[in-house]
Structure 1
């Protein structure tokens, strides 16, 4: 009997071990320049036929101006449209920030070193869920490196990679208004929307305006409505009014790493639902569509100011006053953005459903002792809808094509209320140079501080008032060593922000953070425990790491280029596996009172 039981235990032990090893088999990805493993042209042809001919060749956005012979017409178009974010989102090889293409191509000068860079050579222009499913199965079968992109609004280069296959979701444009929708928990919601992966926020705002509705979306018209923005949390100029974008999600439809299509909500795949609402895009699954809440569009009271302080001392006086005033302004319902350089201060604020008289008085109070800053009356205006505000003040600045890197910190409300002098001093240190640049996002506080939201958004958003961002820009011809220096300056500026945002326990918005962030697991996800929960879900739904991106959940299992398993992490995972198996064996042997 004992021998029989021992054999059964051994058999079960072997099954568990083999199943785990089979599920966690990870190899270096096959890249397009590796002819020994890259699929043959006949394989690609058959795959293309299976997806209705949606396979397309891809090139960097500036490549037409560096071809031999020169493609004059295409180059002229690229030069004319270079900073047009809509044009950039329509190019499968374009990133909104040119540096992430990493190709040395330029529309400003002819480059003899122009190459493919980080841009994949092939993309699946997916327009149906079946195209996504087929692509996932194909990538898994041939062990390819996969990247997923909708619009290219990506400050980490997460949606492009050398030698990869691009799953391009830009043309998945279906959107539906559902007058009444019942959740799996029996809740009824009015006027929810279902939007596909390629829908952009400008499209959403204009579509909903016809119904006098609004959704909580991005400040840029070309940001995707369901991609990294939403899955990373998604701050909005309307967030203090109704919460982060991730707080509005009622359901997803996704394709998992095994190619299966699934509904994800509070009842079906609830852990994955939690992870997808804040845990980062390109990590857990391909989101095909999302169901989001909407609200009756608010009227808007807005204010715009451009200030040119006459002296550094007056600038410092004003900035200290401004930071001291921020909590009161937030309490009154103001939200929006402010921009700081060494010589200028610009403010674009809005108050949803605000009172004009009250708003005017608050702005008068803010600027009344600073009439020497080149203005006499605060500019306050009323608009009937959010779309009017968006079109007037935000969409007009929707330009991209620059090279730049950024870093950020979430500043706690308590620190701004109780230590405003130190906060203002930190801002002044950062902008104390010709290249110093800071963007302040008054997009926290209010409803964002609702800690009852059961999603994976960085918990530090719930105690923040400001999201502060430092950035550095450079022209195409800038040498690599100078680009490295600029990136280091961003890191140094983030360290200054960290001194007034909670020190080592401070956090960042994972979509707009420093690509060189060291302790990113804590900074992007709030706590190690929070990250561990996300990692556990990631390992379950994507055991082979099909979805991998720069400083995303699970990327620490891979080498720096994200193409090969990290040897150190693989050893650690084996140790984690061995211990529970030993404990299971000991329990079973003890239960049957077997001595071995």
Structure 2
């Protein structure tokens, strides 16, 4: 950070008559909207523009020709580069992607300080947006001031990093700015012969994922991104820049490890410990089909037993899907195994299918591929040898190695009809509980597709991995979960007028998704949910998202943001606000 620039900015904010002094009553009952009393004047906005070196602008959605819109609005890199768009286009009866009134395109912590202090002085609805992947719409709100950190995407690789004020030994690490995406973090780490634990979707932001917990492809092997956090720089509601770690303000540091993004302040950079790079990584794809409902139950029973013996260990991640048409679709990734070892792991399941040809099909559908781990996130590999696995940013001037997985394409611009999740406890894999689990899985799959994400659940990880994860704010249910169940439905993007939401279809989808989750929860009625991937309408959300950690998080929120400047739906401390974050509710 340029210290002179920061000091000059801070002094200009404190002295500027256009910005004024902080309001006497920062606990005002409502935040102003454009045209209302209390909305900043043109002179006020001009002062903020000067304080941020001309980085304040109005926000408008891009205007695209129909042919251009269809292509660009299916590109997550393009969407991520537009301040007026978000990765999802909305959620039925919950939120729509609408741009803020103004935006500060921050390029430094000093810009963030200026915007935070301005929002506090004028009691504005403040939105913090990095990559814009929040399913809850945390990255957008009409009539607000947006702090856009997209340009703060620098990456530094450290051979040895020591947190400030710490006496710990130096460890290999990587520092990422608030606007950095995981693809670029992976590429930087592997270029140095290391691995950094992050998200599966290449365009997900580093900051948001870490603050939500941070489960990714290989969480059973390397833990969560939150557990890897060594240090963070954050601008809190008082406009102060704080560098936090285990030695400096450890409570705030702990809250940033899974307590939810956009809640405790604006995280401007994060430093994560890296891990030795595996020798190889790869994928196993296979689709099995049962020829009757009874056969499908038998297949699920065999699969549950297979999970207990073969998939709950540090080598495996990603997901398996159960379909209403009695398909079992396996899309797993592995690390630290050869392709022969990975194929051998699935032999017992495939032998069972082969031995019962009248009941099952698909035994020959298995595909196993593996590559040295240093190549796994290099786009040229997929351009030259595996185009079926990835899509590429085809815009003029885009980096040749920027890609997203084709399996994530269905989420780009999605308008969500429903999205639910639940941590599935390892006890369900025990001999005495398997029938209960099979019945619940079968019942759920009658209503909708059920996804079992084995990397989002730490049962089977090493004791060291689990111990480090327990020192985060993540719901404890995650540490003993063998998988995270996700059941969701979406319609096409509403961006650019490409589609109009169909309320009747959305209601049908929502009812079927909820029925599926209700059926599944007969096996895990009190299971918690994953902060980054759960239901907008989650009941008892404080307990569901954080369990026994919530009160501690709430105490930290009240200490660092007593007036509720930072608001996200179902964020810590938002009980006292209206759903849109504009009105403080009566006590």
- TM-score, structure 1 length as denominator? 0.82
Q: Report the number of matched residues.
A: 519
Distance 2:317 2:291 in 1: 27
Q: What is the deviation of 1:242?
A: 1.2
For 1:299-357, what per-residue CA distance to the aligned partner results, in whole angstroms no more than 9, with x for missing partners?
12431113344444433322221122112123453222122322333222223212444
Whether 2:566 is the aligned partner of 1:520: answer no
Distance 2:94 2:223 in 1: 38
Q: What is the deviation of 1:377?
A: 6.1
Distance 1:426 1:348 in 2: 21
For 1:22-42, what per-residue CA distance to the aligned partner results, in whole angstroms no more than 9, with x for missing partners?
78724311123x433221223
**1:25/1:99 CA distance change after superposition, 3 Å:** closer
**1:191/1:556 CA distance change after superposition, 3 Å:** same
Mapped contact 2:228–2:273 kept (Cα < 8 A) = yes
Residue 195 of structure 1: aligned partner: 176
Whether 2:376 is the aligned partner of 1:388: answer yes
Residue 44 of structure 1: aligned partner: 45
Secondary structure of the residue aligned to 1:524 is helix
Whether 2:346 is the aligned partner of 1:363: answer yes
Residue 507 of structure 1: aligned partner: 528
For 1:544-565, what per-residue CA distance to the aligned partner results, in whole angstroms no more than 9, with x for missing partners?
0001110110011212322111
Secondary structure of the residue aligned to 2:111 is helix
Distance 2:512 2:30 in 1: 34
Whether 2:157 is the aligned partner of 1:136: answer no
**1:386/1:369 CA distance change after superposition, 3 Å:** farther
**1:512/1:22 CA distance change after superposition, 3 Å:** same
Larger Rg: 1
Mapped contact 1:54–1:126 kept (Cα < 8 A) = yes
Distance 1:119 1:263 in 2: 31
Which 5+ residue runs of structure 2 have no aligned equivalent?
1-22, 355-359, 391-403, 493-498
Distance 2:522 2:468 in 1: 25
Residue 437 of structure 1: aligned partner: 449
Residue 191 of structure 2: aligned partner: 210
For 1:32-90, what per-residue CA distance to the aligned partner results, in whole angstroms no more than 9, with x for missing partners?
3x4332212232122112211112332346xx25xxxxxx3xx4332212221111111
Whether 2:238 is the aligned partner of 1:262: answer no
Question: After the TM superposition, which of the residue ranges 169-178 and 438-447 deviates more from structure 2?
Answer: 438-447
Residue 69 of structure 2: aligned partner: 78
Mapped contact 2:187–2:377 kept (Cα < 8 A) = no
Whether 2:72 is the aligned partner of 1:89: answer no
**1:77/1:488 CA distance change after superposition, 3 Å:** same
Whether 2:354 is the aligned partner of 1:354: answer no
- The partner residue of 2:322 within 328, 340, 345 is 340
**1:338/1:23 CA distance change after superposition, 3 Å:** farther
Residue 439 of structure 2: aligned partner: 425
- TM-score, structure 2 length as denominator? 0.83
Question: After the TM superposition, which of the residue ranges 305-314 and 530-539 deviates more from structure 2?
Answer: 305-314
Distance 1:539 1:481 in 2: 41
Residue 162 of structure 1: aligned partner: 142
Residue 16 of structure 2: aligned partner: none
Distance 1:389 1:151 in 2: 19
Question: After the TM superposition, which of the residue ranges 333-342 and 386-395 deviates more from structure 2?
Answer: 386-395
Mapped contact 2:224–2:469 kept (Cα < 8 A) = no
Residue 59 of structure 1: aligned partner: 60
Q: What is the deviation of 1:485?
A: 4.5
Residue 486 of structure 2: aligned partner: 469
